[in-house]
Copies of this chain bind each other. A is one copy, B any other.
Amino acid sequence: MARNITPREKDYSQWYLDVIKAAEMADYAPVRGCMVIRPTGYAIWESIQSQLDERFKATGHVNAYFPLLIPSSFLEKEAKHVEGFSPECAVVTHAGGEELEEPLVIRPTSETVIGYMYSKWVQSWRDLPILINQWCNVLRWEKRPRLFLRTSEFLWQEGHTAHATREEAMEETLRMLEVYRSFMEEVLALPVVVGEKSEGERFPGAENTYTCEAMMTDKRALQAGTSHFLGQNFAKAFDIKFQNRDGELEYAWTTSWGASTRLIGAIIMTHADNDGLVLPPNVAPIKVVVIPMSPDQNRLQDIMLPEAQKIVEKLTALLGRNRVILDTQFHMRPGDRFFYHLQRGVPLRLELGEAEMSSSCLRAVRRDTAEVLNISFDAVEREVPKLLDEIQRSLFERAKAFRESNTYQVSSFDEFKEVLNKKGGFIKAYFAGTPEEERAIKEATTATVRCFLLDDSSEGTCFYTKKPGGRLAIFAKAY
Binding site for B on A (CB under 8 A): 27, 29-31, 34-39, 41-43, 45-46, 57, 62-71, 74, 87-97, 103-104, 106, 113, 116-117, 120, 132, 136-137, 139, 141-143, 152-153, 155, 322
Contact = CB atoms under 8 A, between A and B. Distances in A.
Contacts of A136: 137
Contact of A36 (B35, B67, B94, B143): B67
Contact of A63 (B43, B70, B94, B95): B43
Residue from A38, A96, A104, A141 whose CB has the most chain B CB atoms within 10 Å: A96
Nearest to A45: B65
A42 B64 contact: yes
B141 A68 contact: no
A96 B94 CA distance: 17
Given A92-B93, A93-B93, 17 more contacts: A27-B117, A29-B67, A29-B117, A30-B71, A30-B116, A36-B67, A36-B117, A37-B64, A38-B64, A46-B63, A68-B137, A69-B152, A90-B104, A91-B94, A96-B142, A96-B143, A136-B137
Nearest to A132: B39
B36 A69 contact: no
B57 A322 contact: yes
Given A43-B62, A117-B36, A153 B95 contact: no
A64 B93 contact: no
Contacts of A69: 31, 34, 90, 139, 152-153
Contacts of A62: 39, 42-43
A113 B74 contact: no
Nearest to A329: B126
Contacts of A46: 63
Determine how many copies of this chain the complex contains: 2
Contacts of A155: 65
Contacts of A29: 66-67, 113, 117
B104 A95 contact: no
A97 B87 contact: yes
A67 B120 contact: no
A143 B97 CA distance: 11
A96 B141 contact: yes
A97 B88 CA distance: 7
Contacts of A35: 67
Contacts of A142: 96
Given A29-B113, A74-B30, A137-B137, A92 B106 contact: yes
A136 B92 CA distance: 19
A96 B92 contact: no
Contacts of A36: 64-67, 117
A71 B113 CA distance: 27
A139 B96 CA distance: 10
A86 to B, nearest CB: 8
A72 to B, nearest CB: 10
Residue from A45, A64, A65, A152 whose CB has the most chain B CB atoms within 10 Å: A65
13 contacts: A27-B117, A34-B67, A34-B69, A39-B63, A42-B64, A42-B65, A43-B63, A68-B68, A69-B139, A69-B153, A90-B92, A90-B94, A94-B103
Nearest to A101: B32
Contact of A30 (B57, B93, B103, B113): B113
A38 B136 CA distance: 14
Given A27-B117, A93-B94, A113-B30, A68 B139 contact: yes
